[in-house]
Amino acid sequence: MTTSAPARPSTTDSEHAATRRVAMVALALGGFGIGTTEFVAMGLLPEMATGLDVSEPTAGHVISAYALGVVVGAPLIAALSARVPRKHLLLGLMIAFTVGNAASVFAPNYETLMVARFVAGLPHGAYFGVASLVAAHLARPGERAKAVALVMMGLSVANVVGVPAASSLGQHLGWRTAFALVAVIGAATVAAIWRWVPELCAMNVTNPITELGALRRPQVWMTLVIGMVGFGGMFAVYTYISTTLTDVSGLSRSLVPLALMIYGVGMVAGNFVGGRLADRALMPGLFASMTALGVMLAVFVFASHNPVTALVLVFGIGAAGSSMVPGLQTRLMDVAADAQTLAASLNHAALNIANAFGAWIGGVVIAAGHGYTAPAAVGGALAVAGLVVLSLAVLMERRSADRERAHAS
């Protein structure tokens, strides 16, 4: 009796798998650059404030300027570029990102830097939105959220490698060198996308009117509000994490890059778990992530007074917050119907509204004399508010489904 040899993957299947892998690496590299430039400013606020001759809360407005660029750029670019082939759009976005960061290096004063950071932020949301759709398009069946998480992994890894490296570089050679490093990463991403991402001819290209239709869908807005509210608390803490760890926790200034790396490791872990949760149980996974974030922020109020417990909670906050991103991105794809580019891009606009709002409210409570633990207390309350919005979204969806069933019967 003879036995047949086990089936081997066809050459075509192997080629497709290899194409997916290298394309994901190229897309994640862009996320790595974006994550580095977004978060490194938070670790270099004292140096930037000194170099620009402004106060630290004023220097924090540079972070808000970048976030505002994301908020403005995401819907504008996504709608106006609806007819542009996806690969060409990705290339254009990363070129603009590289130019914006190069301008940050040469900005002569605070006002010019604000403009440069705004320009650097413009492509952010549209890039992640389009890259997520490309990843989902290339993914195997049932692995959409996992593919999105792989793209977002670049953002998470940036906080393990890119942000600590750029932060250390900025501390020793001046904060401008951090943005120079980001510009180099941006140029490398342009080359990688050009070489490794396929032409994506089969991807659906829409038009501005269709994309704007996402704004008529209540569940799109509810999902965006969840991100805006829930993430505000995380950014309120992370914006001022450098001074919190040195002044409250007693951590040496030289160990701040290590703390940022620990936060990044938490983000990698959370992103990994969040992608798998979203593929298996999307809404329960979002509830679990938001609850965990609220708990971590509340505990940080007390844990921040000890360097060891503070670093443990820094990891936990990074993990809990990052675990929500693949779920929110996938949720927007589900509820946006044929307007997915705009909806996916708006996710990062929402998160950067949270970034700007978090940086602002953190500065407000610190300036009011409540100390550097106050942002975490406010953050915990915002996470609870995010849970309320998430619950309302589920209730609205169920009622809508009930009405449709009743109408059909």
Instruction: State the pLDDT at residue 9.
Output: 46
Cβ partners under 8 Å of residue 350, min gap 6: 224, 225, 227, 228, 231
pLDDT at 2 over 60: no
Instruction: State the pLDDT at residue 150.
Output: 82
Distance CA 309, CA 327 (A): 28
Range from 9-23, 48-62, 343-357 carrying the lowest mean pLDDT: 9-23
The two three-digit tokens of residue 273, written as one number: 């778990």
Angle at 357 between CA 355 and CA 358, to 5 degrees: 65
Instruction: State the pLDDT at residue 288.
Output: 92
Angle between helices 218-239 and 374-408 in degrees, nearest 10: 170
The two three-digit tokens of residue 255, written as one number: 């160990």
Q: How many CB atoms lie within 10 A of CB 242?
A: 24
Instruction: State the pLDDT at residue 400.
Output: 82
- Residue 124 · residue 37 · CB < 8 Å: no
Rounded mean pLDDT of 318-344?
83
Instruction: State the pLDDT at residue 305.
Output: 92
pLDDT, greater one: 6 or 404: 404
pLDDT at 206 over 70: no
Instruction: State the pLDDT at residue 203.
Output: 65
The two three-digit tokens of residue 220, written as one number: 């799109």
Domain 17-403 in CATH: superfamily? Answer: MFS general substrate transporter like domains (1.20.1250.20)
Rounded mean pLDDT of 162-171?
86
Percentage of the chain modeled with pLDDT above 70: 94
Q: How many CB atoms lie within 10 A of CB 172?
A: 8
pLDDT at 4 over 70: no
Residue type, 97: F
pLDDT at 10 over 50: no
Percentage of the chain modeled with pLDDT above 90: 31
Residue type, 105: V
Q: Which long-range contacts (CB under 8 A, 24 or more apart) does 133-136 make?
A: 133/86, 133/203, 133/333, 133/340, 133/341, 133/344, 134/23, 134/27, 134/86, 134/90, 134/197, 134/200, 134/203, 135/23, 135/24, 135/27, 136/333
Distance CA 367, CA 407 (A): 55
pLDDT, greater one: 66 or 215: 66
Give the domain ranges of the chain: 17-403
pLDDT at 1 over 50: no
Q: Give the confidence band of 30 by pLDDT, cuts at 50, 70, 90.
A: very high
Q: What is the pLDDT of residues 212-267, one digit of tens each?
A: 777 788 888 999 999 888 888 888 888 888 889 999 989 888 888 788 788 888 98
Q: Give the confidence band of 113 by pLDDT, cuts at 50, 70, 90.
A: very high
Distance CA 74, CA 124 (A): 7
Distance CA 252, CA 259 (A): 10
pLDDT at 13 over 90: no
What is the chain's mean pLDDT, rounded?
Answer: 85
pLDDT, greater one: 407 or 392: 392
pLDDT, greater one: 190 or 18: 190
pLDDT at 43 over 70: yes
Distance CA 72, CA 120 (A): 12
Q: What is the pLDDT of residues 183-204, one digit of tens each?
A: 999 999 999 999 988 877 666 6
Q: Give the confidence band of 14 by pLDDT, cuts at 50, 70, 90.
A: low
